[in-house]
Amino acid sequence: MKVIFVCLGNICRSPMAEAMFKQMVTEAGLSDQITVDSAGTSNIAEGSPADSRTKAILDQHNIQDDGMIARQLSLQDYYDADYIIAMDQMNVADAKAMAPAGLAKKVHGIYEATPGKTDHYIVDPWITHKFQNTYNSLNEALPNWLKKFQNELNK
């Protein structure tokens, strides 16, 4: 199974989600079954490392960020990924609009697997400067995705 987390530039939310989810997948013993990646809907920050504030939050929580470099979501990603999980409404809309015919159904909102919060999203901390809020939101949403994927893998 391949999961790609998506935000606008791939320097704040999606690399944080990628690093956090990789750790969760490893701790669950599923690294051989779930591949985790991230990308942006735009190429605005392509080639840049994760934002220093994202790295600082990950460091605070002892989460490896293993030198992630921003990249734009590619057409091949739609074929390779089982799930493309976007951080906000605009990311969802853009990722669906970029999808090749028949593949937009792979795009989901970050809280879609969280009961009672399926219409919630994560605001861009590059604008709000609230990187801890991003971590807290991801810490709430990501375990629900892990449960969903574990259920799918056990079928």
Radius of gyration of the chain from Cα atoms?
14
Q: How far is Cα 5 from Cα 145, in angstroms, rounded to an integer?
A: 11
Note if 66 is an active site residue.
no
Find all residues with CB under 8 Å of 127, minimum gap 6, and list them: none
- The verdict on whether 7 is a catalytic residue reads yes
Query: Given 7, 12, 53, 77, which residue is catalytic?
Result: 7
12 belongs to the catalytic site = no
Q: Which two tokens stand for residue 117?
A: 């919060």
Using CA atoms, how far apart are residues 124 and 6, in angstroms rounded to an integer?
12
Q: Which of 65, 77, 94, 124 is catalytic?
A: 124
Helix/strand/coil for 34: coil
Q: Which of 13, 65, 88, 94 is catalytic?
A: 13
| Residues designated catalytic | 7, 13, 124
